[in-house]
């Protein structure tokens, strides 16, 4: 499999190089030259396949030239050693729970797969790799957990000060060792811009290799397809799929799975008030904007990195995209009301991001009677007890992984927004002397 630069399709590379580079020097994202169709036998067997087996069968289509099959099997079995659950809400609605991993968020899937790839690559390479990560919430904790202790790899996580939950902050600031948290006086968009500038402009003099673990990295995107195959295999064909969307990597992965032959009836892109994509679907005009802070903070993205990939899956054809994708957006008051109302109606406890996806699915089902669907629950409600518990009136049972995150001493480096500050930090730490 070859991967090409979306900004310059003449530039192609293999999986290993695309992963290690993360981003092209011109800030172009890597994308597979083709999304391979999965074989009919794969779909026949899908209902009886576990997630690691699905991951191996799909993953080898993209990694076969750079990761041996036996090594891919080890990576997938190690990465996906926790459950994916489908919870039935009512006869037309199911929740795909992706929060049963070590950091109680869907980012565990991509982060653990990517860390496995880096372990394999670094075993054959002596150059120190510095992984830069911008997080609006859950990405930082998942990357920190997945890369903790990986030899010859340092992880530097940039997060917006005061704009992530206390528990999310604890997950990325208390581990130490090869994990460093940079607390940025700005927004997630500032953090993301700083990372992209460092990746494309900083001269490291060959002393270190910079890469990213955000969803701009293809090794984060590919494994997010795996659980959609599993969900449809368990739930049956023809389901509508509603995905809470911020940086648009998760729904891009769903679209890639659909294009490979997975029988998804329709995609719903559900957002909070950072609604540039629903607006695009409505007006045909794409207008990135400054991000706005909400209680669904992991989706507070005003300029989604992966939307360029999302459009590519549909051939950059707005009419085709409108035929396959619906967009809905919701404000904080609607999110709060829905968390309260869904608990009263069904007893199911939503986190704010899952609430957005749940409302997106409800909106579609209200328009298209007789349809049935799955909404994606990306984070455990225990990560947002300050929002959820007052709305439901019941305490949220915390998984053990979150209980452990409450403990530990916070260590972060305060940094002003702007690329020059990140450049100086990296230069002082790795390139001086």
Q: What is the pLDDT along the chain (433 residues), one digit of tens a residue?
A: 999 999 999 989 999 999 988 888 788 899 999 999 999 999 999 999 999 999 999 999 999 889 999 999 999 999 999 999 999 999 999 999 999 999 899 999 999 999 999 889 887 777 888 999 998 777 888 888 888 988 889 999 999 999 888 888 888 898 889 999 999 999 988 998 999 899 889 999 889 989 888 778 999 999 999 999 999 999 998 899 999 999 999 999 999 999 999 999 999 999 999 999 999 999 999 999 988 999 998 899 999 989 999 999 999 999 999 999 999 999 999 999 999 999 999 999 999 999 999 999 999 999 999 999 999 999 999 989 999 999 999 999 988 877 777 777 889 999 999 999 999 999 999 998 6
- Rounded to an integer, what distance in angstroms lies between the CA atom of residue 157 and that of residue 130? 10
85 within 8 A of 100, measured Cβ to Cβ:
yes
- Rounded to an integer, what distance in angstroms lies between the CA atom of residue 117 and that of residue 31? 17
Supply angle C-alpha 284, 261, 309, rounded to 5. 40
- Residue 231 host element (H or E): helix 226-235
Task: Identify the residue whose tokens are 């997938």.
Answer: 76
Which positions ≥6 away from 178 have C-beta within 8 Å?
A: 147, 148, 149, 150, 153, 154, 155
Burial of 208 (0-12, 13-18, 19+ CB in 10 A): middle
Measure CA of the first residue to CA of the last residue in the chain; give whole Å.
41
E strand spans, 124-204: 128-134, 153-160, 179-185
Which positions ≥6 away from 124 have C-beta within 8 Å?
A: none
Domains of the chain: 83-106+220-398 (3.40.50.1100)
Task: Identify the residue whose tokens are 């802070």.
Answer: 293
What pLDDT was estimated at residue 123? 78
357 within 8 A of 244, measured Cβ to Cβ:
yes
Cα separations in angstroms, 89 against 326, 348, 367: 22, 7, 19
188 within 8 A of 179, measured Cβ to Cβ:
no
- Residue 422 host element (H or E): helix 419-426
Residue 348 corresponds to which tokens in the numbers above?
Answer: 């199911």
Burial of 30 (0-12, 13-18, 19+ CB in 10 A): buried
- B/e letters for 179-189, b = 16+ CB within 10 Å, e = fewer, are bbbbbbebbbb
Task: Identify the residue whose tokens are 């919870």.
Answer: 87
What pLDDT was estimated at residue 433? 67
In Å, how far from its chain's centre is CA 376?
Answer: 12
Compute φ and ψ for 329, nearest 5 degrees.
-135, 155
What pLDDT was estimated at residue 16? 93
- Rounded to an integer, what distance in angstroms lies between the CA atom of residue 131 and that of residue 238? 39
């Amino acid at each position: 499999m070859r991967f090409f630069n979306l900004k310059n399709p003449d530039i192609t590379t293999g999986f290993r190089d695309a992963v290690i580079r993360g981003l092209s020097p011109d800030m172009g994202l890597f994308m597979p030259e083709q999304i391979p169709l999965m074989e009919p036998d794969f779909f026949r067997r899908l209902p009886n396949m576990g997630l690691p087996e699905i991951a191996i069968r799909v993953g080898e289509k993209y990694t076969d030239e750079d990761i041996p099959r036996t090594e891919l099997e080890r990576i997938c079995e190690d990465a996906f050693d926790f459950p994916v659950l489908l919870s039935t809400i009512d006869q037309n609605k199911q929740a795909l729970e992706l929060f049963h991993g070590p950091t109680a968020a869907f980012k565990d899937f991509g982060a653990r797969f990517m860390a496995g790839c880096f372990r394999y690559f670094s075993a054959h390479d002596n150059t120190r790799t510095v992984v830069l990560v911008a997080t609006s919430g859950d990405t930082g904790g998942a990357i920190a957990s997945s890369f903790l202790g990986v030899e010859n790899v340092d992880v530097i996580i940039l997060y917006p000060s005061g704009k992530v939950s206390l528990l999310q902050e604890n997950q990325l600031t208390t581990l130490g060792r090869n994990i460093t948290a940079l607390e940025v006086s700005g927004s997630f968009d500032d953090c993301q811009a700083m990372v992209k500038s460092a990746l494309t402009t900083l001269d490291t003099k060959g002393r270190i290799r910079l890469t990213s673990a955000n969803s701009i990295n293809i090794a984060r995107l590919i494994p997010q397809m795996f659980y959609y195959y599993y969900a449809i295999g368990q739930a049956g064909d023809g389901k509508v799929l509603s995905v809470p969307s911020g940086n648009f990597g998760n729904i891009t992965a769903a679209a890639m799975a659909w294009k490979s032959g997975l029988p998804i009836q329709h995609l719903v892109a559900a957002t909070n008030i950072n609604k540039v994509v629903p607006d695009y679907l409505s007006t045909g005009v794409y207008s990135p904007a400054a991000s706005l802070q909400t209680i669904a903070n992991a989706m507070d993205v005003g300029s989604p990195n992966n939307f360029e990939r999302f459009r590519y899956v549909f051939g950059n054809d707005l009419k085709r995209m409108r035929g396959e994708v619906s967009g809905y957006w919701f404000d904080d008051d609607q999110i709060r009301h829905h968390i309260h109302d869904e608990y009263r109606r069904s007893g199911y406890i939503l986190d704010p991001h899952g609430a957005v996806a749940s409302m997106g699915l409800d909106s579609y089902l209200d328009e298209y009677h007789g349809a049935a669907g799955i909404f994606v629950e990306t984070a455990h409600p225990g990560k947002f007890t300050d929002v959820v518990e007052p709305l439901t009136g019941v305490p949220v049972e915390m998984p053990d992984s979150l209980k452990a995150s409450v403990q530990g001493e916070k260590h972060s480096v305060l940094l002003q927004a702007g690329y020059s500050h990140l450049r100086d930090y990296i230069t002082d730490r790795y390139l001086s002397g």
